[in-house]
């Protein structure tokens, strides 16, 4: 297994739209294992392939306290079950150190494929619902900072650009 580098805002590669996964092979399983290792090491609760510069439609999530409930979603889509919104202070491994409140539909039904290509559906609410929507946004080139004011987003961009120059 390997830890992959996580792209950081405002890297333009985070804006690419990912393509569907069509081949369910050993290489895909290695990618999934690397994504879990990278996510756990970074202490995140989710990771989209886009964040490690792989522009394919898959994501991994583990919102459990004990980090014992790994979930893999390939070619995920969701429908809103309840229009009611929930607010979460969202963070992102690609926007390190910044947290902002984002409102998203509270309950969704997710349809996806597992690592063997087998379709499945599940309902999600609360933090899991938020996290799935946050990750699917990544596959569409979107970030949580797109939901906040332009002024806040520009401040975050400036601060991260400064950090990136320092460590370059």
Q: Which residues are catalytic?
A: 135
Per-residue mark of binding to Ni ion, 65-104 (x: CB under 5 A) = ---------------------------x------------
User: Among all chains, which residue has been given the structure tokens 């995920």?
Assistant: 76
User: Among all chains, which residue has been given the structure tokens 């063997």?
Assistant: 116
Q: Is 138 near ligand GNR (CB under 6 A)? A: yes
In a 10 Å sphere around its CB, with 0-12 CB exposed, 13-18 middle and 19+ buried, how is residue 91 labelled?
A: middle
Q: How far is CA 32 from the centre of its chain?
A: 13
User: How near is the Cβ of 75 to ligand GNR at its closest, in Å?
Assistant: 17
**CA gap 31, 48 in Å, rounded:** 11
Query: Whose Cβ is closer to ligand GNR: residue 113's or residue 134's?
Result: 134
Q: Is 130 near ligand GNR (CB under 6 A)? A: yes
Q: Please choose, out of 14-22, 92-100, 108-116, 159-167, the segment that lies near ligand GNR by the rule CB under 6 A.
A: 92-100
90 binds, among Ni ion, ligand GNR, none (CB under 5 to 8 A by kind): ligand GNR
The secondary structure element, H or E, covering residue 124 is strand 119-125
Per-residue mark of binding to ligand GNR, 148-167 (x: CB under 6 A) = --------------------
Tokens of 113: 């494929």
Q: Is 56 near ligand GNR (CB under 6 A)? A: no
Selected from 4, 36, 44, 156, the binder of ligand GNR by CB under 6 A is 44
In a 10 Å sphere around its CB, with 0-12 CB exposed, 13-18 middle and 19+ buried, how is residue 62 labelled?
A: buried
47 binds, among ligand GNR, Ni ion, none (CB under 5 to 8 A by kind): ligand GNR
How many residues bind Ni ion (CB under 5 A)? The answer is 1
**CA gap 164, 135 in Å, rounded:** 24
């Amino acid at each position: 297994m390997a830890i992959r580098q996580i792209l950081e805002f405002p890297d333009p590669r985070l804006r690419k739209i990912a393509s569907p996964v069509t081949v369910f092979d050993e290489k895909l399983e290695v990618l999934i294992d690397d994504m879990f290792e990278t996510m756990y090491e970074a202490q995140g609760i989710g990771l989209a392939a886009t964040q490690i510069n792989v522009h394919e439609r898959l994501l991994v999530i583990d919102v459990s306290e004990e980090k014992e409930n790994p979930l893999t979603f390939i070619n995920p889509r969701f429908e809103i079950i309840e229009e009611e919104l929930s607010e979460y202070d969202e963070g992102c491994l690609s926007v390190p150190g910044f947290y902002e409140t984002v409102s998203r539909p509270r309950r969704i039904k997710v349809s996806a494929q597992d690592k063997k290509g087998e379709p499945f559906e599940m309902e999600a609410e609360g933090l899991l619902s938020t996290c799935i929507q946050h990750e699917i946004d990544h596959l569409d080139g979107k970030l949580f900072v797109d939901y906040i004011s332009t002024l806040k987003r520009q401040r975050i961009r400036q601060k991260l650009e400064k950090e990136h120059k320092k460590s370059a």
